[in-house]
Structure 1
Amino acid sequence: MPTAALAPAADTLPLQVGMVLVCVALAGWVLAVWLLLRQPRLPAFPPEDYLRPVSPTDLPVDPLPACAVVLDGLGAIVQVNEEAASQFGETVGAILRHPAARAALSAALRVPVLSSAYGAGGSTDSSSANGVPAASRADLPPVCSTTFTLDVPVPRTFHLMLRRLPGGKGQDRRVLVILNDRSEAQAADRMRMDFVAHASHELRTPLASVSGFIDALQGPAGENPAIRQQFLGVMRQQSERLKRLIDRLLYLSRVQAHEHQRPRDLVDVADLMAVVLGEVAPRFEAEGRTLRLQIEDDLVIRADEDEIVQVLLNLIENALRYGAGEAEPLTITLSARRAVIPDDRWPADGGVILGVEDDGCGMEAHHLPRLTERFYRAGAGTGHGTGLGLSIVRHILDRHGGRLRIASAPGKGTTCLVWLPPARGSLAVPTGE
């Protein structure tokens, strides 16, 4: 009997153990499903608001080697780096308020910022390129660019490149703007085109004249000795004009070739003026032409003597050619003095001022800004000048670190002043008055 009573208990033990194991497995499966559902689901293509907004402190624009400005969604300036502040100053606001700039800003704000960090189906790509995980890379929006010209106070051409930054909504959106002033490049392009046009015209005129007289001399006119001599005289004049033009162009190219090299020689201004006087003295032997000298003592400059002599010769030549008519009296004053401190026209470190002043007919004020352009000549009666003299003067003074100031008015003559920096390290140079 005892043996028969123990048999049913032994048969139920495996069944109870199995049920417990099934319950544990079921609980583990439920827990795993619950934990899986608790994990955040990453969108297959996250919207732009999913990206973290970029605040002004997140974008270090100061180290950028360009003029950079950060704008908000309303076009207000959030950041201006040091390069933009130093180059444009308070004009940054006027530049960004231009209609073309506002239109480019609106276009940049309409471009969506999308990320390629996540693949389809919510999975991430663990591959990397250049050491940067693919999950940290983003598709940059296209650049919106525009070019426009501001006419006030002087014409300036600007090129803007705008790119929308990730994140933000409404006013919190950010746009990076890169400003580039193309005024100088545009002016250089215009001057090159003008140079080619004027040079071809100046070269073609004497060549056409010489060619025409050659054709005439090959015909019946060549048999007449008087006409032949007359034509040959004109041809000589035109060939000399052509030679002067070519010589000026070659000299200008030589000056520009070493324009970046500052001269190192110390030159006594009195000796320099003696050379100039020896060159121009024969031009003042004619009646009605007077040259006056006003030269201070003990003036020394650091300069290329030949080039500064060329500067003064060109200024005197212009005064003789354009100052007065052939029969009108003309007085030219050649001067050299120390720069007075202070003087708003020159840097505040002294220096020497060389001057060429005439009492001739003068010129209108609108000519003055263009006098140093190549081939520019004021007025119609300009004789046979090449129009390159003052351009050569400007390039020589650029090499010396000098300045040129021209003042003129109709009937009151013309004054050309050349400022040259003091010769540092020379005991002979006074410090100024």
Structure 2
Amino acid sequence: MRAESLAVLPHDGLPLWVGLTFAGIAVAGWASAALAFRRRSIPQLVIPEYPASGLSLSLPDAPLPIEFFPGSVLLLDRLGAVLQANEEAVTQFGDSVGAILRHPAARSALSAALRAEPEGADDLPPVCSTTFTLDVPVPRTLHLSLRGIPAPQERHKRVLVVLSDRSEAQVLDRMRLDFVAHASHELRTPLASLSGFIDALRTGGSTMDEGTRQQFLDIMGQQSARLKRLIDRLLYLSRVQAHEHQRPRDVVDVADLMAIVLGEVAPRFDEDGCTLNLALEDDLIIKADEDEMVQVLLNLIENALKYGRERGRDFSVTLFARRAPERDDRWPEDGGILLGVEDNGRGMEAYHLPRLTERFYRVVDNVEPAQQGTGLGLSIVRHILDRHGGRLRVASAPGRGTTCLVWLPPVSVVQPEMV
């Protein structure tokens, strides 16, 4: 009697057992659809009972989820053909992947990765790595790490490759070594000179005539001044680099900046045949550290006087400031301010231009040794401009003078709020 009453209880016009049946069918259908979607959207790896690390693909052509790797990753077959490449690898290396994998060092590493066997049943195969330089299309130093993926059959074996470009790190290492070598040489030269003259004065002081003694002392004074300039430049460069990541916040009027620079360099142009011109647009504002920007312009003018001037020829330097064109592919942003130093001096060969901002690099063509500087001025300029978000471009040709352009980003003017 109780079972009969349950069978005939209505639920929205249908018996309760009919509604429960339809609900069960719907839930089963939703679960099946969700499982099918998951299998389609995420590549599945089967981990069979395989003695070497348990990693194997369920099918030879099953994709690996290499897009999840935070780096440039390739999946190769046993012949070195690319089966998969993640987006990072395509973006960073593009069409160069084929040339990279054809390099003899890469082929040898691939063969070693295919032959490598894990030491224990639960261990992964060892990583085989190699580093080499690829000369085309541009020189690049590359590092490859390869690990074989075990498979039940040898022809199904795959190799996972992680690529990294170490060109920049190698350049930085070379620059550090060059810096230590050049700094040691530059410091040793005046020290050796001072040491030699001190020994000469000590051993022959009683018999040395006054003229020779004075000559030695003058040379020692010049060498000590050179040593002091070099140390001061190195200390200033280290201070600039210490806060290079901090953008300046002060707003500077370019007219005030130029007035300070003119006050510093005007006495250098009192000689006959040496003139300084100023070309300045009105109402130019930059966001800068005033002292550092004064140092930039002083270094550029000093280089013009030291390396551009020729005896027997009239020499002129033009210091200018103007608004940059709204559209100019040379600079990272539209607009901005251009500061520059232009001279009509001897100029320089084009092969010098890419290296001018390297530490201790000096243009010695037709320059007397006494006029040669420390080779740190333009390096200081570069680091100051890096802090300001600026750029430096140098244009020069023998007999046609040199133009140094400093670009600084535009200043965004914030309008005052209406009360």
Q: Same fold (TM over 0.5)?
A: yes
Distance 2:337 2:90 in 1: 34
Query: Which residue pairs with 1:251 in the alignment?
Result: 236
Q: How many residues align?
A: 365
Code of the residue aligned with 2:350 in structure 1: it is: A
Q: How does 1:24-423 map to 2 (within 5 A)?
A: 46=51, 51-53=56-58, 58-112=63-117, 116=121, 138-167=122-151, 172-220=156-204, 223-380=208-365, 381=367, 383-423=371-411
Distance 1:188 1:309 in 2: 29
1:345 match: secondary structure: coil
CA deviation after TM superposition for structure 1 residue 203, in Å: 0.8
1:357 match: secondary structure: strand
Distance 1:214 1:168 in 2: 80
Distance 2:53 2:387 in 1: 55
2:142 match: secondary structure: strand
**Measured at CA, do residues 48 and 277 of structure 1 come closer, stay the same or move farther in structure 2, by a change above 3 Å?**
closer
Bigger-Rg structure (1/2): 1
Distance 2:267 2:330 in 1: 34
1:92 match: secondary structure: helix
Code of the residue aligned with 2:125 in structure 1: it is: P
CA deviation after TM superposition for structure 1 residue 198, in Å: 0.9
TM-score between both structures, scaled by the size of structure 1: 0.78
Distance 1:252 1:338 in 2: 29
**Measured at CA, do residues 425 and 251 of structure 1 come closer, stay the same or move farther in structure 2, by a change above 3 Å?**
same
Distance 1:48 1:63 in 2: 21
Which aligned segments of 4 or more residues in structure 1 are displaced greater than 4 angstroms? 43-51, 53-58, 112-115, 168-172
Unaligned runs of 5+ in 1: 1-42, 117-137, 429-433
2:66 match: secondary structure: coil
Is contact 2:299-2:377 (8 Å) kept? Answer: yes
Is contact 1:45-1:115 (8 Å) kept? Answer: no
Moved more, 50-59 or 168-177: 50-59
1:252 match: secondary structure: helix
CA RMSD in angstroms, aligned pairs only: 2.6
CA deviation after TM superposition for structure 1 residue 427, in Å: 6.3
Q: Deviations over 1:200-236 (max 9, x none)?
A: 1111111111121122222335642211221111111
**Measured at CA, do residues 173 and 339 of structure 1 come closer, stay the same or move farther in structure 2, by a change above 3 Å?**
farther
Is contact 2:247-2:387 (8 Å) kept? Answer: yes
Is contact 1:54-1:166 (8 Å) kept? Answer: no
CA deviation after TM superposition for structure 1 residue 321, in Å: 0.6
Code of the residue aligned with 2:381 in structure 1: it is: V
Distance 1:384 1:156 in 2: 34
Is contact 1:49-1:167 (8 Å) kept? Answer: no
Q: Deviations over 1:44-65 (max 9, x none)?
A: 9758999444777653222322
CA deviation after TM superposition for structure 1 residue 323, in Å: 0.5
Percent of residue pairs bearing the same amino acid type: 68
Moved more, 220-229 or 382-391: 220-229
Distance 1:204 1:271 in 2: 41
Q: Deviations over 1:323-382 (max 9, x none)?
A: 123443221121112121321111233211111111111111111111111111112525
TM-score between both structures, scaled by the size of structure 2: 0.80
Code of the residue aligned with 1:68 in structure 2: it is: V
Distance 2:305 2:415 in 1: 37
Distance 1:313 1:399 in 2: 18
Relative contact order: is structure 1 or structure 2 higher (C-alpha 8 Å, sep ≥ 6)?
Answer: 1
**Measured at CA, do residues 48 and 140 of structure 1 come closer, stay the same or move farther in structure 2, by a change above 3 Å?**
closer
Is contact 1:113-1:164 (8 Å) kept? Answer: no
Code of the residue aligned with 1:314 in structure 2: it is: N
Is contact 1:113-1:166 (8 Å) kept? Answer: no
1:218 match: secondary structure: helix
Is contact 1:168-1:174 (8 Å) kept? Answer: no
Distance 2:334 2:128 in 1: 46
Code of the residue aligned with 1:420 in structure 2: it is: L
Unaligned runs of 5+ in 2: 1-47
CA deviation after TM superposition for structure 1 residue 112, in Å: 4.6
Is contact 1:269-1:301 (8 Å) kept? Answer: yes
CA deviation after TM superposition for structure 1 residue 84, in Å: 2.7
Distance 2:382 2:137 in 1: 24
